[in-house]
Structure 1
Amino acid sequence: MRSPTRRRLPRRVTTALVSLVVPFAALAAPARAADAPAAPAGEGRAPGFVQAAPYLYLGWGNPPSATDVMRATGIKWYTMAFILARNGCNPAWDSQRPLTGGVDETTIKSIRAAGGDIVPSIGGWSGNKLGPNCSTPQALAGAYQKVIDAYRLKAVDVDIENTDEFESPAVQDRILGALKIVKQNNPGLRTILTFPTLNTGPNSWGNRLIERSKALQADIDNFTIMPFNFGGHADMYGNTVKATEGLKTKLKSVYGWSDAEAYAHIGISGMNGNSDVGEVTTPQIWTQIRDWSNAHHIGRLSFWAVNRDRPSWQFTSITAGFTG
């Protein structure tokens, strides 16, 4: 655990440290630069996209080798966490590490050399975030653009949580406005919103986020829910399905999409092993969730985190079988 004088760990990291007692058992968008890698096979279905991208967090001590895990599991994409704010409206890994010249850039280059790619997770549960620190959608879009340019990204994921972003109407709208701007300025860029959920679907703040994404014409490609922390000894498979169906219903209502269109714009980001409230997702349950996701052709599957999946990389291997 980090020193208590340091910032609070992202919620998923705090859980990771607690849940180590549990046995550890892709995009169609064109690149902005000619030398950026092509999307892995099996991706590129209209109207959404398909991406199996578990979280990899380099800010947690002794992170696994991204390329070793790729070779062992067949995974191609990672969601890399977390891009936060440093010195105002400036992006940095964990508010500390620069975008270029450090371990994060080196890791991204190695992943791409091995035939994969990454999407950055901007935000998270805790820390000094860009959404509240950048005063306008234009300023926030400028911060996102620095990340896009640093890595010639095909996609960005904004993980919007907690009272400072998810439960702030002003910041919700600022994030949506910024994503609209970068989407307009970067043809082919895919945008993802990741946010909490009830076991029945989005809560009032999630509903607002979806409604405002339509009203502001933000053109979000994927709405990824985090179906955990429901409380008690939850049925993690059943509640994940129920939450995802609730999201589908909301997207259909707001956007007028068919079932297939709504599913294609949905993502699931689970938690392997123990959740913050003691729920347990086993490899068998995660396989059920993956198979349901494939059968319904959702757009994205992720989990927190590869760091917690040692030594056999079971959850990562299961996720690699996601085809959308």
Structure 2
Amino acid sequence: MQRSRLAAVGLAAVLAGTAATLAVTTNAQADTEALGSNWYASAPYLMPVSNNPPDPVAVMAATGQKAFQLAFILAPNGGGCSPTWDGVSAVSSDTAVAGVISRIRGAGGDVSVSVGGYGGTKLGQTCGSVSATAAAYQQVITKYGLKAIDFDLEEPEYENDAAIANELGAAKTLQATNPGLFVSVTMPGTAAGTGWFGTLLIDKAKSIGFTPDNFSIMPFDGGFNGGSSQVSALEAFHGLLMNHMGWDSATAYAHAGFSGMNGKSDVSEMFYVADFQTVYDYAVGHKLGRFTFWSVNRDRQCVGTTDNGVCSNVPQNDWDFTKFSTRFAGATPPTSTPPTTPTTSNPPGSCTAAEWQKTSVYTQGNVVAHNGHKWTAKWWTQGEEPGTTGQWGVWTDSGPC
């Protein structure tokens, strides 16, 4: 499942601008009590130093949410078995994310950290054994004093049996050596619950005697159409857990979870606030163990941009989707609705350029109109929608028209 990912240059700029002020927070181990597992089970994903991250403390105040799922830990882009933020910034020398964690904890919250995600090189691929993979992740747990960790198992390691064995084996090791650690496993979703490789993943977990607190599926980017189709996938996944883990119905529900995508997905599926309400009602009614989404960075209405990394592309108020996570944790969000914060100040106008067509071929310099903006192609392309792949995609946003 494609997620807008952190560019090295963007991270470098953030680190350079924050290192001095955050030096005192190099080690974010906090003498704080863990939140209840309900908060880790509801923690929405947040990229802390990329994709125009919102102030997490402001989000907490506006929604009542207490925990966030910080993404993503990967192997170094140049190879190796040491943990980094998005393949770029070594955990061992990090101060930027440590500062974010300190602010969240200072406001009475906490974080889980997600390892993996879509794309990039995963530690399960580069570390040569279960023990080496576990040791790399233990560095992250120790550095930030974590009480929760998420294994987001996707491409390209998803189909790599040895890599998945390293990840699941490491998860089991960490669960045993860090008593009370909340461990979730997240995988792609399909109409059948999950696909062939997801089913193999569940079988492998059972074969090694590993039971995470939660198995979650991501029912998006797979031909889904609104909340009802996601509920259907979750019900199918419940059946898979019963059949492959040998659980009764209640146990399977309690270990199943939803990890959605708010707004417009990478393949232009649309998930509105009403769709989240549909899935939320199902999750609460069936006592599912987790309810989360990708991502808080996108939990605001688009104004003057359609960049899928920083806004949802659906009508909403700021943090409408995050409030579902708060409610799932058992808390009541504040009744006042904060004003929607535009991601840019330039409203779209009317365009005279030809509208982008999915089946058309475009070459360098071609100009199209889409969602009130002009877009200029950097190179040959077909089928890549303007505004969905960020600044590193083929399309340059030439502004409102």
Same fold (TM over 0.5): yes
Residue 167 (structure 2) aligned to one of 170, 175, 180: 175
Pairing of 1:1-324 with structure 2 (within 5 A): 11-13=2-4, 35-40=31-36, 43=37, 51-86=41-76, 87-99=79-91, 101-162=94-155, 164-231=156-223, 234-310=224-300, 312-323=318-329
Which structure 1 segments of 5+ residues have no match? 1-9, 15-32
CA distance in 2, matches of 1:38, 1:138: 26
In 2, Cα distance between equivalents of 1:299 and 1:290: 12
8 Å CA contact 2:228, 2:278 repeated in 1 = no
Which has more helix, going by share of residues? Answer: 1
Give per-residue Cα distances to partners, 1:84-132, cap 9 Å, x unaligned.
Answer: 1125000011122232542211111111111111111101111122110
Change (3 A) 1:62 1:276: closer
In the other structure, the counterpart of 1:28 is none
- Distance between the aligned counterparts of 2:75 and 2:86, measured in 1? 8
- The alignment of Structure 1 onto Structure 2 pairs a total of residues equal to 288
Contact residue 48 and residue 100 of structure 2 kept, 8 A: no
SS in structure 1 at match of 2:321 = helix
The CA distance in 2 between the partners of 1:57 and 1:34, in whole Å, is 20
Give the secondary structure class of the aligned counterpart of 2:187: strand
User: Residue 170 of structure 2 aligns to which amino acid in structure 1?
Assistant: A
Q: Output one character per residue of 1:37-71: Cα deviation in whole Å (capped at 9) or x when no partner.
A: 3314xx46xxxx96211111124243100000000
- Distance (Å, rounded) in 2 between the aligned partners of 1:127 and 1:141: 19
Residue 363 of structure 2 is matched in structure 1 by none
Residue range with higher mean Cα deviation, 97-106 or 280-289? 97-106
Task: Report % sequence identity.
Answer: 41
Question: 1:265-291 CA deviation, whole Å, 9 max, x = no partner?
Answer: 111110111111111000111112112
Which amino acid in structure 2 is aligned with residue 39 of structure 1?
L
SS in 2 for 1:211: helix
Q: Do the aligned partners of 1:52 and 1:76 also contact (CA within 8 Å) in 2?
A: no
Deviation by residue 1:154-176 (Cα, 9 ceiling, x = unmatched): 111111111x3111111111111
Rg comparison, structure with higher value: 2
Match of 1:22 in 2: none
Contact kept, 8 Å, 1:37 with 1:117, in 2: the verdict is no
Residues in 1 aligned to 2:170 and 2:61: alpha-carbon distance in whole angstroms? 36
Residue 307 (structure 1) shift: 0.7
1:34 to partner: Cα distance: 8.5
Distance in 2 (CA, whole Å) between partners of 1:73 and 1:93 is 27
In 1, Cα distance between the equivalents of 2:195 and 2:327? 30
Partners of 1:272 and 1:308 within 8 A in 2: yes
Moved more, 136-145 or 252-261: 252-261
- Whether contact under 8 Å (1:228, 1:236) holds in the other structure is no
Q: Distance in 2 between matches of 1:203 and 1:61?
A: 29
In structure 2, the gaps of 5 or more residues are: 6-28, 301-316, 331-401
Q: Is the 8 A contact 2:4 2:51 kept in 1?
A: no
Higher relative contact order (CA 8 A, sep 6+): 1
4+ long deviations beyond 3 Å: none
